[in-house]
Structures are given as structure tokens and as C-alpha cells.
Structure 1
Amino acid sequence: MNRTELRMALRTLPFLDAHRTVAERHVRLADDPPKLLLWDPETIEWLFASDSELDHPGSRSLRPLFGEHSLLWVDGPRHTAYRKVLGPPLRGRRLTTYAPLIAETVHDAVDALTVGQTVVLADWTRQVALRIIARLVLGDTDRRTEAVLDDFTSWIDDALGSRPRTLAHRFLRGGLPRSSADLDGRLVDWARSGSTREPATLASLLLNADGPLADLRDNDAELRDQLVSLLFAGHETTASAAAWTLYRLAVDESLRHDVLDELDATSDDVPTASAAPLLTAVISESLRLAPPVTVAENRRLRCPARLLGRTFPAGTTLTTSIYLAHRQDDAFPQPLRFDPSRFLGRKHPPSVYLPFGGGARRCLGSQLAMLELRLITASVLRRREWRCLNPAAGRLQLRGHAMAPSSRLRVRVTACRD
């Protein structure tokens, strides 16, 4: 790792902020082989359109955490097979079959919020999002499986909960810590025990898949990698986005009342995007300023390609900076200002607005995440009032690659509305 890569790893957000107005919209991180961080719209568009002709080497820092077989970086036919099995239930009409389960989980969490209670906002949204994805991936929870989730949370917190500790794991201890064999075994057992439940869990779909994934039934090691990847990717980023959305509404009374007026006009437990355009715009703007992750997946050239005004050789790694793409003045005037009106009545192309990545590697759970975000936000606003105790703590910080609010950010429940 050279000096530039080290600066980005150790001081990621200051490094990115320092390059926000760079005219070339890319920075070279390494030379041999070339490695670039880029946020040029034309190049992003080319990368997403050319995904089938590129390699996807994955994340060096997260690979020890999720394992070599993780669907987050598996490539070729295996990746296609995973998306074919997991994609359909996470979008469109099939996703609506999970809506009652998601709503039940959210309402249980809101029920537990009592007047006078002080809540660490990011911790609360992580707990809610983890229980949602656990039920979708593994099945209903009970006392035994709640203990599994507690141990899963402790493991992730050890790896990512403290930025200094995360860096110490990476640079001094040989990489982020892998989950224990005991936790792995309990996750696999939970997945196998729920293989006949309805609606079908995501784990059961994997275990019952034919074709290229049929061997997963007898491969606990690969199954473990997929379970861990789905649980992490399905809750950590959604939780951060939910926390930022709730924070923005907590500190802007006028905006909060406008969203509540919009929600009062619909009785839907899970308001659709068309029924709640302002709420959806608030979520979208939160995702712009605090995207779920700072970068999209690494892409590597198989053949030489002419990009950014020059020809790059095969083996060049290209990484899209979502954070910097979302902060460009020509796409988003006054880009550091929170302004939901940017998303009212207009769409932004995926080359400039890409909170869930793009191309063949676009987040499988993007529609699920938006459904959860609308439901969590609507449920809290409709049923509780709370006050942010320390708005100044609403500063961006990294939790792994996710853009989480500070663990110091707290709200206090002041009233029940139901």
C-alpha cells in the first residue's frame, strides 16, 4: 500500500473532501498495476454498461470478514446464479409478500419506545434493520435465535464499531476478524431449520436452488459466507440511511410537519413512493449526502480501454466514488446543502446518483431498502415524537465502508401519538 492509498485508508473523508472539486474527477491511487478512484459521470456510465466484460475483485478489507465465497464479490456464472435466485423475491410484487413481516418487526420496535427514553439513534436503527433481514434470510426469531443475533452484533461491532479498532485490525492484526466457528454453526443451523417456512426465507431459496447452486446444500462453508453477507449488507447500510433520515426530520420541524401532513393523507402502513413523494425525497436526499457506502464495487479491466482521456492497460482497477459523485456542483447545485426538493418531480441519472451502485452489481436489496426506509420513518413519525438531544453530533463518520452517524447522536422520546 503506497502513501496515497494509506492516506485514503486512514483519513478517508478528509481525503475525499480534498478532491471534491478536482477538475479531472479521478485520482490515481496506485501505478503498477494502475488503480484509480473516479467520479466522472461518463466513465461511470461506461463501467456500468460494460460490467459483463469486467472482473470484480471485491474488497480487500472486507474479504476476511465475509469469506472468499461471498456473493458480494463472486464473479461469472456463480454470481449470475445467486442473483437469479435472490433477485426476484427482493423486488416488485414478490417483495410485497414480505411487507407484513417487515411492518410487524418495525411496529414491535416502535412499541418498545417509551416516553422519556433516550435512544442512541444509529444503534436503534441497526437493531430494527438486523431483525428485519434476519427474519427474511433465516426465519422468525425466538430466545435462542435472538442470542445468535446478539453474538452477530458483537462480532460486527468488534470489527467495525470503532474506527481506530477497525484500522488496528486491518493494519496491525492481519485483517478484520472472522466470526467464530460457533456463531457460524448456529447461523447455518438456523438457516437449515427454516427451509420449509412461508413465505420462503432467502436461505431456503438458496438451499432449494437447482443448477449451479445445487451444491450449496452440502457446503456449509459457502452457505455461511452467504448468510453473513446477506445479514450484514441487508442491515448495516439500511440502518445508516434510516438513522440519517430520522435525524434530518428530527432537527427540521417544518419539514417533519410537512411529511406528517403527507402521511396523514394515506392510511397505508407502508406508503408507496407515489403516495409519499416528500418522504421519498427526504430519504433520497439523505442517501445522497450520506450514501450507504462511500464507494461502489471495484471493477478491473480484462482488456486495455481508453478512459478519462488516456488508455489504461488490462489489470487496471477502477473504483467509483459514490460519495464524490453525489457532491458535484453541476449535478447538485450547492451540493453540501440538504435539499429534498432535488428529488421532487425529477430523476437523476445513475451516473451521478448511485446510492445502491449500478450495472450488474447494483445492490440486490435496493427496493427492499427503500421499502424499509419508508416504513421505519413513517412508523416513527406517526406513532412517536422525539427530540434530538445533541444535533451537533450529526456528523458523518465511517463504520467500515458505511456512512453511519456518530454513536453519540441521541434522541429522547417525548410523546406517544397512538
Structure 2
Amino acid sequence: MNRTEFELAFRTLPFLDAHADLPNGVLPIRPGRLMVWEPQALDEIFRADRGLRHPGSRSLGPLLGPKSLLWADGERHAAYRRVLGTPLRGRNLARYHGMITEVVDDAVGKLVPGKTFALADWTRQVALDIVARIIVGSADRTVLAAFTRWIDRALGSRRRTLAYRVLRGSLPESGEDLDRALVRLAKSTSDPHSLVALMLAPDNPIGRIDDGELRDQIVSLLFAGHETTASATAWTLFQLTENPRLREGVLSELDTAGNASDPAEVPLLQAVIQEVLRLSPPVEVAGNRMLTEETELLGHRCPAGTVVTPAIYLAHHRSDVFPQPRRFDPHRFLGRKGTPAGYLPFGGGTRFCLGSQLGQLEIRMITAAVLRRRTLRCVNPRAGKPALRGHAMAPSNRLRMRVVA
């Protein structure tokens, strides 16, 4: 491990902050690996994505499994996206409105006045309950509790995660009992619209999925489908709690916005969410790409086999694209058509996040329900600093909210 790799692993965010304004937006990490965040270069990478390979993450690979759709390539990856993409976008999301409302109402109802709670833990539980119902058609508390304990053991502490990687070579495995329980829960679903039911349908374009591959997809979808959404929801609630005038503006929108499912009805809330996703993106890097032929990138001649990592956090903190990049300012996105160059909270190319629309829908609906029914006060706002869970940029587990009304 060279010095750059060491700094990136052990001082991730300070290291990234120190390099955000490198003029050419590219940083060699080691021979054969580049981190890239220059907007035009990112666009070129994403446009060429179909012809690139997508090696798995050294951290998350053993966790999510070798057959995870996150590092599938070619036709099998395309088939997964065809099956899973349609129900997670556009008008099809209306199917989930009632379920999301039910889950959120129950969770908010338990936030009684006087209660102090860990914000990130609360949003993770809500997001996991929602996504479990979408993936397997139900939210088995026993199985989900075991899943949460395993993820927390692996990723809950950055130091512990690094210790696992350095001393053991990989993160702790889920274990046969949890794997069997997840597969059993998936196969017992009675919801024909659940993502598992669609994957296992006889006429699906994916083909046969054995229990090992099914386990990898359930774990991948549960993990990716709740960690990132939960982090962004927690940041949204934190920022609105710390900015009373902004909170009042969003509440004014919500007077006539129904369940906040339509972003056009809540432009200020949507701008807050977009700025949250810029300042604290769901993940700090997009998936690795491996070049399949020699390519020149930003003056670097890269041989075939070079691994290129799109750096989302760095792209979002370029001062030439986002003036005062560390300042929280939702007005960057108000009245804007489209998104700025270099804004990529959900990645890009063939790996663009399948759940991007669903995640934003959840953030809007959860935030709207909390603002309408509860007044929160952050008891330790200095703890409102990012803490990495794997590649997810979550608020610190120490961040606490108190229900004051």
C-alpha cells in the first residue's frame, strides 16, 4: 500500500477535500488505477460504459457476493436491469405510495414528545422496512434484525471495517443461517410484484437463478436500497432542523402538496434533497471501470486493464462548478433546468442507480411526514459530520434528535 492508498483508506474525506480542486480532475492512486472527477472525462467514461468491465469492490465484494448484479457484466447485467428497472421508475412508483405512507406513519408515531433518538439509525430502519417490502414482499423483523446486526458489524465502525480488511483480508460473512433465512423469505413471497417474484418468474430474461445467486441479489438490493436512501434522508432532516427558515419554506409547500410524491409540487424540498446529495452524496465513488483497450484520458495514456474510478464526492466539491462547495445552499438547484455538469449522485452509464427515483420518493415522503407531525431539535449539531459506512456517506451514529413537539 503506497502513501496515496493509505491516505485514501484511513483519512478518506480529508484526503478527498485536499484534492477536489486539482486542475485536471484526475489522481493516480497506484500504477493501473486512476480516480477521475473532471466532468468531460466522466461523460466519456459513462458513454463508453457498455464496452468496459466492472470489477467488484474489494470492500463490498465479499460482503455482497461474487454473483451480485452490481458487478455483473454483459447480457446478464442488462437482463437484471430490464427486470428490475421498470417497477422502480416513473408511474410504476405509484404502487408503493400507500405502503411507504403506512411504514412512515407507524415509525413517526413512535417518535413521542420527549424522545431522543439516533437519527441515522431511525432512518435506516424506516428505509430497510420499505425496501424489504419492495424486494421480498414483506418485512420479517427477525430476519431484518439479523441482517442489520451483520451490516453494522461489518460497516458500522470505519476503524473496525479497516481492521477487518487489514487483519483478516475481508469483511465478516453473513453466515449460512442468515443466507438461508433470506432465501427462504424470498421464495415464500406471495406478492407477484415483489422484485424477487419478478426475478424468479419462469419467463424472465435473466434465466435460471440458483440459491447462491439469489442470496447475492437479495443482499445487494437490501444493502444498496436502504443504506444510501437512509443516509440522504438523515442529512435532509438534519439540514432542515438546523435551518429554521428553510424548514418553514418547505412546510409552506407541504400545505398543498399531498404526500409529496411529485417533486414538481415541492420544488424547495426537492432542491434541498438535491443539495444534500451534492454535499454528502450517497456514495463517495461510483463503481470501478476497467478499460478494455488503450485509452488517453486527460493527458494520461492508460493501457488496457487500467481501473478508472469516478469520484462523485470530488466532482461535487469542485469550486469552479459549485462555488463555495462546502456551503449548504439548495438555491443552486432552484429554477434550474437539468443538472450541472459533474453532478452525479447516482453514478452514470450502464451502472446508473436503478433506485434513484424510488430513493428520492422515499426521502420526500419521509421528510414530509416528519415535518408535518413532529418538531425536532438536534441535541448535538457538532456531531453532524459524515462518517463512511462502506462507501455510503452517513451522518455520525452520535447524531441525536429530540422530539420537542
Q: Equivalents in 2 of 1:237, 1:310: separation in Å?
A: 32
Residues 1:207 and 2:207 aligned together: no
Distance 1:3 1:348, change over 3 A: farther
Q: Equivalents in 1 of 2:128, 2:51: separation in Å?
A: 34
Provide the residue aligned with 2:51 in structure 1.
Answer: 53
2:283–2:312 Cα contact (<8 Å) kept: yes
Aligned with 1:72 (options 65, 70, 73): 70
Aligned pairs for 1:37-186 (under 5 A) are 37-141=35-139, 145-186=140-181
Give secondary structure in 1 for the equivalent of 2:40: helix
1:103–1:270 Cα contact (<8 Å) kept: no
Alignment length (residue pairs): 405
1:259–1:279 Cα contact (<8 Å) kept: yes
Q: Equivalents in 1 of 2:4, 2:245: separation in Å?
A: 43
Aligned pairs for 1:216-227 (under 5 A) are 216=209, 219-227=210-218
Residues 1:188 and 2:186 aligned together: no
Deviation at 1:347, TM superposition (A): 4.1
CA deviation vs aligned residue, 1:110-137 (integer Å, no higher than 9, x gap): 1111010001000000000000001111
Give secondary structure in 2 for the equivalent of 1:210: coil
CA deviation vs aligned residue, 1:319-365 (integer Å, no higher than 9, x gap): 01100100111211111110000010114547410000011100000
Aligned pairs for 1:347-386 (under 5 A) are 347=337, 349=339, 351-386=341-376
2:198–2:204 Cα contact (<8 Å) kept: no
Residues 1:411 and 2:404 aligned together: no
CA deviation vs aligned residue, 1:116-162 (integer Å, no higher than 9, x gap): 00010000000000000011111123xxx201000000000000001
Deviation at 1:405, TM superposition (A): 0.5
Q: Equivalents in 2 of 1:67, 1:209: separation in Å?
A: 24
Provide the residue aligned with 2:236 in structure 1.
Answer: 245
State the AA in 2 paired with 1:21. Answer: D
Unaligned runs of 5+ in 1: none
Unaligned runs of 5+ in 2: none
Residues 1:345 and 2:335 aligned together: yes
Distance 1:2 1:347, change over 3 A: farther
Deviation at 1:299, TM superposition (A): 0.7
State the AA in 2 paired with 1:408. Answer: R
Deviation at 1:5, TM superposition (A): 1.4
Aligned with 2:277 (options 263, 287, 295): 287
Distance 1:350 1:344, change over 3 A: closer
Residues 1:273 and 2:263 aligned together: yes
Deviation at 1:212, TM superposition (A): 4.7
> What is the root-mean-square deviation of aligned Cα atoms in Å?
1.2
Provide the residue aligned with 1:264 in structure 2.
Answer: 255
1:66–1:178 Cα contact (<8 Å) kept: no
TM-score (norm 1): 0.95
TM-score (norm 2): 0.98
Q: Equivalents in 1 of 2:35, 2:135: separation in Å?
A: 33
State the AA in 2 paired with 1:356. Answer: F
Q: Equivalents in 2 of 1:84, 1:45: separation in Å?
A: 23
Distance 1:27 1:289, change over 3 A: same
Aligned with 1:312 (options 302, 314, 319): 302
